[in-house]
Structure 1
């Protein structure tokens, strides 16, 4: 059985990088909240039953954490930022919250669900991360639920056509602000799961996004945002967000 430890504390440079993001986070802006809420709607379709233990990795302000709690789920939390971790402890005093990088964490149990909501675009080596956390899953039934931004989103494609960016994988102001290290395409997203020895049970997307976050927040109603979140499920390759549900290969 695994023994939990928070070992080999992360390098100071990585702590500073994560805390720099946390000190001026944009995740709780209206479009960010709508995106996280909809990703949770997608994720919960794939919760195995019975559902005993969930690990949410990198919840930032805890928007999805609260949705889990509202559904009667008490997740464990793994958060790399010291700022986010402390805020989460104050917000959710009854939860087990670990402040550690994924690479340095050893859980005390196996999990039915591990949630990676917008994590893989941030990490240095996503295949290493996926290879690590696959061993934290309950054998056979445990699932990883992951979401990342999509380079092929139509708002990025439009920006290329307009000459605003040179190519679809160019980092936007938002990407740079949040410390993204890559922008996934559908192919590279699936590739990293395959390289990590994971079996993809579902690939999809959500949020057909024709404009930037700032433009949407200036003129769209919440109802319009929700409608276009749903429309993106019909066109995953050009949706703003990609989703994968994966299991450990047997």
Structure 2
């Protein structure tokens, strides 16, 4: 199966935007928008467009780069003013630069994160910034899973990781290292969503107020937050 066929298969059976995971994506944009400059924005791997909906409400010039044709069809229908590019990241040639680039939960999916970031660096306009976020291997819920014998180690791939098409789970050190190895300058490192239990337990038992509180608590404790992010240039 080709890489694009794999992406389309994941897209047809995606649960990425459901429940608390959708809330996580929306919270990610609330952080990204604090740091990204005005101007043309490229969102890489928008998938169902959960974050895209928020970005589109604020940005007049929006480009969407997506490897799944299934997702691209939906994005074109939902965001007619955006320019949708159907391409693998490694094959993309925008022919221009962008003031802001968003990689929302992208780097855990690709074969070579450093190679992708080296490309991203060439697409960034002078004074532009990149915002990237990934799941954190050191998350509280993963540490608990190891203690309970549900995972052999913190960075082991769970059943949900495989379903989402993840190829790795970063810790804070390995995530930051990708940017330095790509020749980029780290400006901010942080986290969000202090997550003590699984998505299924949260969706079943938590109120929206609880979820929002724990999203913000993760910003206080980035090393053990469920999600970590970098702002780089």
Matches of 2:169 and 2:131, distance apart in 1: 18
Matches of 1:143 and 1:182, distance apart in 2: 24
Following superposition, the deviation at residue 170 of structure 1 comes to 1.1
Residue ranges of structure 2 left out of the alignment (5+ in a row): none
Residue ranges of structure 1 left out of the alignment (5+ in a row): 1-11
Matches of 1:213 and 1:80, distance apart in 2: 26
Following superposition, the deviation at residue 186 of structure 1 comes to 0.3
Pair 1:41 & 2:30 matched: yes
Matches of 2:154 and 2:39, distance apart in 1: 40
Q: In the alignment, which residue of structure 2 is the partner of 1:244?
A: 230
Partner residue of 2:92 out of 94, 105, 111: 105
Q: Kindly report the root-mean-square deviation, in angstroms, between the aligned alpha carbons of the 2 structures.
A: 0.9
Matches of 2:171 and 2:219, distance apart in 1: 16
Pair 1:30 & 2:19 matched: yes
2:36 and 2:130 in contact (8 A); partners too: no
Poorly superposed stretches of 4+, deviation over 4 Å:
none
TM, length-normalised to structure 1: 0.91
Q: Deviations over 1:6-47 (max 9, x none)?
A: xxxxxx610111111101111121111110111001000002
Partner residue of 2:146 out of 146, 157, 160: 160
Partner residue of 2:69 out of 65, 82, 92: 82
Q: In the alignment, which residue of structure 2 is the partner of 1:5?
A: none
Partner residue of 2:218 out of 220, 225, 232: 232
1:68 and 1:74 in contact (8 A); partners too: no
Aligned residues: 233
Pair 1:223 & 2:209 matched: yes
Pair 1:17 & 2:3 matched: no
TM, length-normalised to structure 2: 0.98
